[in-house]
Amino acid sequence: MIFNIVIFPGIFYVLLWTVALFWFFRKFIAALHKRVGPSFNGPAGSYQTLFDLSKLLTKESITPDGVNPYLFSIMPILAATIAMLPTAFIPWTQTITVVQSEYALLALVVLIGIEPFLLFLTGFGSNNKYSFLGGIRVLTQMISMETSFFLSALSPALLFGTLNLNAIVEQSSWLSFLILLPAFILYFIALLGLLDQPPFNIPDAEQEIVYGFYTEYSGTNYFLLKLAEFSEFMAVFAGAATLFLGGYKGLFFDGFIFLFIKMLLIAMFMMVIRASTPRITMKQMLHFSWSYLVPLSLLNVAWIMLAKIYLLGSLS
């Protein structure tokens, strides 16, 4: 258990993932930009993000005038902790699942879904107009994106009749992948919204509201928020891989490596969208979400039911 908390899939693993994914994002987006990205610190610049994040730990953490100091400094810690928790429920290999629960899927979805609310509070507690606007935007986006996120994330449960993530992975097959493909696409779109990625990077839109809820944070607090962001990435990518792409199941043998590759593929796809799509506005996001995404999610639920009856032939 202590091994699980400290090393894998606990704190050390999350830190390593943050450093590695941050580096990977920078390298990959640089390649799309026709640049090189970090290259002189370590092999292919792989120490760069390690230095970046270590630096943040030792920088001054400013608490601006007029904020509630407790709210201001507790929120990053809370956000980072809660963002790390979903890792406990994900089946990383056949044997490693920290919390074996019949209701793991529910826990996963709720823990992912609560994160934007914490980010809203970070913005709310910053005593800055831009931060506050960012917080409000997070909340709006959360409300409009989470409906379809929940509906699409729960459709495997509907199909397999279980909320246990291990059981979902065990039962998944090529046929179930095809049946769940619409749900996966909807999940992916909602994921972009939940993670504030383009074209839904409205809450931390640099060009509009400086940096949204991040604006006033510096030093260690900013490090924690970054950690929260990347842990959130991990939870959501691992959730997608587990729910729709067969988790740790591989081509010739099963293992953690396949889960990791699937997560990286999702990350890469997200980056390609980042490099080719401009940001849309709040109104367009709301319009898109409530008049297309949510109805389609409901249709998807109907499709899962029909598929279950006619393709799998049972309604148990």
Partner 1 sequence: MQSLYALLQMYETEYIEDYKKSWKKVKLSNAEDLLKVAKALKANGLKTIATVSPTDFLEKNIIEMNYFFEDLISKRNCWLKCDISRELDKCEIESITPLFKGANWHEREAYSMFGVKFLHHPDLRPIIISQDFYGKAPFRKDFDWDAHEANTLQNIQTIVDAFKTEENENDKGIDAESSETVLNWGPTHPASGPIRLKVHCDGEDVISIDPDIGFVWRALEHLVTKKDFIGAIVAVERLCFMDNINSMIAYAQAVEEIAGTEITEFAKWMRVLLGEVSRISSHAMGMGGFYNALGLHTVAMWNMDMREFFLDFLESYSGARIATAAIEAGGVRYGLQENMLEELQLALDKFDATKDDMRAIFVKNPTMKMRAAKQGIITAQEVEEYSLCGVVARASGVKVDVRLDEPYAAYDKINMDYVTQKTGSANDRLVNLFEELEQSVDIIKQAKKHIEECIKSGKFNPTKDHMVKVPKKLPAGEAISRVEWSRGEVLMHLVTQEKATSPYRLKMKAPSFNHTMMLDKLLKGQTLSDIPLIFGSLYICQGDLDR
Partner 2 sequence: MLKIYDFFAHAKSESLWMAHFCTGCCSLEMAAAMGPRYDWERYGYLPTPTPRQADLLIITGLVTKKILPALLRTYAQMPEPKYVLALGACSFDGGPYNDSLAVIKNPTEILPADVFVAGCPPRPEAIIAGLEEIKEKMKQGIPSAASQGGLYKEMEF
Contact residues toward partner 1 (CB under 8 A) are: 32-35, 129-130, 133, 136, 198-199, 201-202, 205-211, 275-284
Instruction: Report what 218 binds from partner 2, partner 1, none; CB cut-off 5-8 Å by kind.
Output: partner 2
Q: How far is CA 287 from the centre of its chain?
A: 23
Burial category of 170 from C-beta neighbours within 10 Å (exposed 0-12, middle 13-18, buried 19 and up): middle
d(CA 90, CA 247): 9
What is the per-residue DSSP string for 156-186? HHHHHT---HHHHHHH--HHHHHHTHHHHHH
Instruction: Report what 129 binds from partner 1, partner 2, none; CB cut-off 5-8 Å by kind.
Output: partner 1
Minimum CB–partner distance for residue 295 and partner 2 (Å):
36
Minimum CB–partner distance for residue 204 and partner 2 (Å):
9
What is the per-residue DSSP string for 42-66? SGGGTTHHHHHHHHHHHS-----TT
Instruction: Report what 156 binds from partner 2, partner 1, none; CB cut-off 5-8 Å by kind.
Output: none
d(CA 277, CA 157): 32
Q: Which residues bind partner 2 (CB under 8 A)?
A: 26, 30, 33-41, 45, 47-48, 50-52, 54-62, 206, 210-211, 214-219, 222
Nearer to partner 1, 162 or 289 (CB): 289
d(CA 82, CA 115): 7
Nearer to partner 2, 38 or 203 (CB): 38
What is the per-residue DSSP string for 252-280? SS--HHHHHHHHHHHHHHHHHHHTT-PPP
Instruction: Report what 275 binds from partner 2, partner 1, none; CB cut-off 5-8 Å by kind.
Output: partner 1
If you search the block for the tokens 């830190």, which residue do you land on?
Answer: 15
Minimum CB–partner distance for residue 286 and partner 1 (Å):
11
Nearer to partner 1, 55 or 287 (CB): 287
Nearer to partner 1, 82 or 136 (CB): 136
| DSSP state at residue 281 | P
Instruction: Report what 133 binds from partner 1, partner 2, none; CB cut-off 5-8 Å by kind.
Output: partner 1
Minimum CB–partner distance for residue 53 and partner 2 (Å):
8
- 40 by DSSP, 3-state: which? coil
Minimum CB–partner distance for residue 142 and partner 1 (Å):
16
Minimum CB–partner distance for residue 218 and partner 2 (Å):
4
Nearer to partner 1, 33 or 55 (CB): 33
